[in-house]
Each structure stands twice: as structure tokens, then as C-alpha cells.
Amino acid sequence: MTEPARSPGETRIVDLRSDTVTRPGRAMRAAMAAAEVGDDVYGEDPTVNRLEHECASLLGMEAALFVPSGTQSNLAALLAHCDRGDEYVAGQDAHTYRFEGGGAAAFGGIQPQPLPFQDDGTLDLDEVAAAIKPDDYHFAKTKLVCLENTQGGKPIGPAYFATVQTFAHEHGLRVHLDGARLFNAVVALGCSARDFGQYCDSVSVCLSKGLGAPAGSVLCGRSGFVDAARRWRKVLGGGMRQAGVLAAAGLYALTHNIERLAEDHRRANILVEGLRGIGLPAEQHTNMVFVRGRDKDAMIAHMKSRNVRVSGSRWVVHMDVTDDDIRHVIDIARALS
């Protein structure tokens, strides 16, 4: 059961800016306090080792690496897959290209080749094929395709990843999946994380989004790849010591908070229906609702004046949002329609 996220007396603020705003509840904190720990840079933190083992097995992959953030997870993956002068193909709006400070170029000399996402969040493989550079020293070496799931909240089914794997084998490319919200796709589509892991060379999952842990991501792949990424994690400053206190939150999240993502999807559906009902055009993808055609700043200001935080047209439902909160949000959004 969801625990109260606010202390008594605290002003009730509904925060829909992102699913990163969740706060660990009592049971997760108890798991953190009870964690057995050791020095993870020496590989001696039993809780981190357990989290890595469980994640690898959930994704059906050989090995896994616990990292402080999703950004570092993707960067370590890019650095492990690519050398200087190599290239990765990614969506124009992909997190790995647009929202990670150009880290792959800044730290790895790795060039991005952005392509537009299609409406369903996939990359068109004909466009990817056309973007692959010939083997000629005028060009960067195209090494990797980076995909995202969910993409803008849209869940992409395993069949697409099967096609991508075949394509990648034909063209000598590897496939990295930024699965920051992969479990939202798993729950929405009723499949398993392995259904995706089997088609990818590496997968990064966030524990700190809808799963509700305070920090941490896990990067999964073959053991040689994870060894290389572990080296890069240290170089990037991500080697933590008694990180078991954080890994314990991640283990708690994997055990208790995957299935409950369906609750977020259900509430996002009530929200989108409610907004449409009051004449506001909106779309829902898993735990995200996109409000269309309204002035962003006016919307942020109005909602804020009634204790609802949004950062623009994307309103994100997460474990600290209740049915009452959703009713309140719809009620005050009336003034926007």
C-alpha cells in the first residue's frame, strides 16, 4: 500500500512535474536502514551485489552495474560500446542525445547521429540504415543504435526490438536501450523485462523514476561489457562505497513497486478523461498526460497558485499521487479550459 508521502500539517502540494519527485516511504527507509553494507568499489557490498544480480536476472542478461543516475548509466554504456571517433544513432528527442549535456561527445569523443522519432517512439530502420556511414576514413564509425522505452511515455512492444536486433546484426551495430521507464512498458503491455533484454546488447533501467527509489540506475549487459562499464563508472566518479543503503531501496522498489505502476497508469487515465470532460484536449501515454494547445507559462502559474506543480504540457503521475489528488487537479484545471 502507498504510504502517506507528506508529514501531517504540511501543505498538500500535488507535484506532477516528474515521477522523480517521489519520496521513500517508511518501509523503503526501513529496508535502507537494515541494509548490510561493504565497500562496493572493492566489490564487497552484499546489497549492491544482490541488486545487480537481481536486475541482471530480471532482464535476462549476464551481468549488471549499479550507478548513481540514469545519465551516468547511459554515458558509461556509450563509453563501453564506442571509442573516440565512433558514432551512435539516437532519437532527436532521446535522453541520450538531448538531455545529457552532450556527455558522450564531451567525455568520449563519440559523435551522435540524431534522427526523428516516429509517432510511436521508434526509429525508422530505413532512416537508420541511410544514416550508417560507409567504411571510409572521411566518416565517423557508426557503432551503436540507442533506443528508448517508454519514449515520451509511449510503450514500445518487444516485436520492434526483435526487428532491431536482426537489423543491427546485419549492419554490425550494437543496441543500447535507455529503459529509464522500461517497467512502465512491461506493466502496460503485460510482458516481461526479459522480452526486451533478449534483443539488446545493453539496457539501463532507472530505480528513481516510477519505482520510487531515492537514487540509482542499473546498467545490464554481457559480463565483458559490464566490466568495461564498471571501469568507466570509476573514471566518471560514480564508484560509491557503502552504497548498499541505496541498493536496498532499489531492491525494495523492484519487489514492491513494479506491479503498482498499473495504479499510476489507471490514475493517468482518470486524469486524461477528466481533462477531456472539461474541454481540455489531452493525451495519455502510460503515466504521462500531455495537455494540448494551452499557454505553458499561464498553465504553470495557474496550477501553482492552487498548489499543483507542473513543468509544462507533460503532467506525470507517480506513487505519491492519490485519487483525491487527481480529482483536485481536474477541478482546478477547469479554469484553463
Per rule CB under 6 A, is residue 149 in the interface with ligand PLP? Answer: no
The piece of 30-38, 57-65, 67-75, 318-326 that touches ligand PLP (CB under 6 A) is 67-75
Under a CB-based contact definition with an 8 Å cutoff, are residues 147 and 176 in contact? Answer: yes
The piece of 28-36, 65-73, 136-144, 267-275 that touches ligand PLP (CB under 6 A) is 65-73
What would the grid cell of residue 33 be? 536502514
Q: Nearest residue to ligand PLP, using CB?
A: 70
Per rule CB under 6 A, is residue 178 in the interface with ligand PLP? Answer: yes
Name 113's Cβ contacts closer than 8 Å, sequence gap at least 6. 87, 88, 89, 90, 131, 140, 142
Per rule CB under 6 A, is residue 65 in the interface with ligand PLP? Answer: no
Per rule CB under 6 A, is residue 70 in the interface with ligand PLP? Answer: yes
Query: What sign for the dihedral angle of Cα 51, 57, 60, 64?
Result: positive
Q: Least separation, in Å, of the C-beta of 246 and ligand PLP?
A: 12
Count the residues of the shown chain that bind ligand PLP, applying the rule CB under 6 A. Answer: 12
* Out of 180, 193, 249, 333, the residue judged to bind ligand PLP by CB under 6 A: 180
Nearer Cβ to ligand PLP (98/194): 98
Q: How far is CA 70 from CA 34, 172, 207, 216, 329, in A?
A: 25, 26, 9, 7, 29
Buried b (16+ CB within 10 A) or exposed e, 213-251: bbbbbbbbbeeebbebbbebbeebebbbebbbbbbbbbb
| H or E element at residue 207 | none
Q: Least separation, in Å, of the C-beta of 28 and ligand PLP?
A: 17
Q: Least separation, in Å, of the C-beta of 99 and ligand PLP?
A: 7
Under a CB-based contact definition with an 8 Å cutoff, are residues 184 and 178 in contact? Answer: no
Name 81's Cβ contacts closer than 8 Å, sequence gap at least 6. 88, 143, 144, 174, 176, 201, 202, 225
Per rule CB under 6 A, is residue 206 in the interface with ligand PLP? Answer: yes
Write the interaction track for ligand PLP spanning residues 86-125; mark x where CB under 6 A is met and - where it is not.
Answer: ---------x------------------------------
Q: Least separation, in Å, of the C-beta of 152 and ligand PLP?
A: 9
What would the grid cell of residue 292 be? 494540448
Q: How far is CA 101 from CA 8, 95, 256, in A?
A: 39, 10, 33
Q: Least separation, in Å, of the C-beta of 77 and ligand PLP?
A: 11
Per rule CB under 6 A, is residue 40 in the interface with ligand PLP? Answer: no
The piece of 63-71, 122-130, 226-234, 284-292 that touches ligand PLP (CB under 6 A) is 63-71
Instruction: Give backbone dihedrals phi and psi of 231, rounded to 5 degrees, phi first.
Output: -65, -45
What would the grid cell of residue 156 be? 514500445
Nearer Cβ to ligand PLP (203/308): 203
Where do contacts with ligand PLP occur on this chain (CB under 6 A)?
Answer: 69-71, 74, 95, 148, 178, 180, 206, 208-209, 217
